[in-house]
Chains A and B, each alone.
Chain A
Amino acid sequence: MLTGKEKEKYDRQMMLYGFGEEGQEKLKRAKVFIAGAGGLGSPVAIYLAAAGVGTLRIADHDTVEMSNLNRQVLHWEKDIGAKKVDSAAAKLRKLNPDIVIETIAGEITGANVSRLVGDSDLIVDAMDSLPARYILNKAALDKGIPFFHGAVYGFEGRVMTVIPGRTACLNCLYHDVKVRKEKFPVIGVTPAVIGCIQATEVIKYLTGMGELLTNRILNYDALRMKFTEFTIKPDPGCTHCGKMLGERRR
């Protein structure tokens, strides 16, 4: 049940056709795991908090550095040296005191990912490394929960939504490729756009509205100001989801 305050706060989004109080209650009941509280994690968390998603569980093992501040808008100069999850939680609790913010200040590994994600309804991939993204993709498949991928480089970004057993997964896109992790260029407006699209997908999924960004990847090239869609087919040979796809066909 929504409180009177919540009905007032979320009035404009409950006006949306197909959303209503029922949609708001779905958001309130939801628990979202956000992997990463950096450039992507910041807009994702801010907009999901503002929309009234009931529980945000945020994981990040880093501390705030000066060089984060051009894009990681949840963190300010006064937070330098603080754990990112603590810095993020402080802002988000002020933005929306009516939701629950859970924090995990630790590294996500293959050994602990299942426990960290726990009973979350879905995973938002806001990480900064490909191995960590693969771990999360696999965890989402294993748990049978959706996975909302986003990535950025410079003025370019990419988004894709994965529904386990039904759509292509992150590894259908990248085929176990390994790339050397390097410091990458980025300007804050790029993860702002991509993170907002990820948050939009999460809200659509939780409320059952619209058409999800599945079996396709949306590529954003800000210098051309151009969005391009590419088709991604579920790969029966995928080492992450191929077996699951095979079982579905039987």
Chain B
Amino acid sequence: MSVTIEIPSVFGRYSDNKLSFEVEGKTVGEALHALGTQSPGLKKLLLDKEGRLVRNYDVYVNGESAYPHVMTRPVRSGDRLNIVMIIYGG
């Protein structure tokens, strides 16, 4: 069950500038952990010690927010996940 995860360009420093990943998973959580296996830098950035998504980030599945049950949100083959950082600068 392969899904695509896109990360913001600003995360490129943690992933050798790779911004799009194909990963396996049946839920957003599984997909994020698979992403972490491919990129330890992103794992450290996105997931806390308990393996949960750090609150500074949101995940969108096919353009729709995965909130509130982000990690258990089911995904299907071909889905596109976007990780979005909460920004506040002006």
Give the complex CA separation of A186 and B89 in angstroms. 8
**Cβ < 8 Å to A, chain B residues 20-44:** none
State how many angstroms separate the Cβ of B63 from the closest Cβ of chain A.
5
Render B77-88 as a binary contact track against A, CB cut-off 8 A, 1 for contact.
Answer: 000001011111
Tell me, yes or no, whether A191 is within 8 Å of chain B by CB: yes
Q: Which of A130, A156, A174 contacts B8 (CB 8 A)?
A: A156
A191 contacts across to B, CB distance below 8 A: 90
Given contacts A228-B82, A230-B64, contact A127 B9 (CB under 8 A): no
Whether B90 lies near A130 (C-beta < 8 A) is no
Give the complex CA separation of A38 and B88 in angstroms. 13
Number of A-B contacts defined by CB within 8 Å = 80
State how many angstroms separate the Cβ of B70 from the closest Cβ of chain A.
11
Whether B88 lies near A230 (C-beta < 8 A) is no
Q: Which one of B12, B67, B82, B88 has the greatest number of beta carbons of chain A within 10 Å?
A: B88
| A-B CB proximity, top 8 nearest | A223-B9, A153-B87, A128-B90, A130-B88, A184-B89, A40-B90, A151-B87, A152-B89
Chain A interface residues (CB < 8 Å from chain B) = 36, 38-41, 125-130, 133, 150-158, 174-175, 177, 179, 181, 184, 186, 191, 219, 221-224, 228-233
- Beyond A229-B63, A230-B64, A231-B63, list 16 extra A-B contacts (CB 8 Å): A38-B90, A39-B89, A127-B90, A128-B88, A128-B89, A129-B88, A133-B88, A150-B90, A151-B87, A152-B87, A156-B8, A158-B87, A175-B68, A177-B55, A191-B90, A224-B9
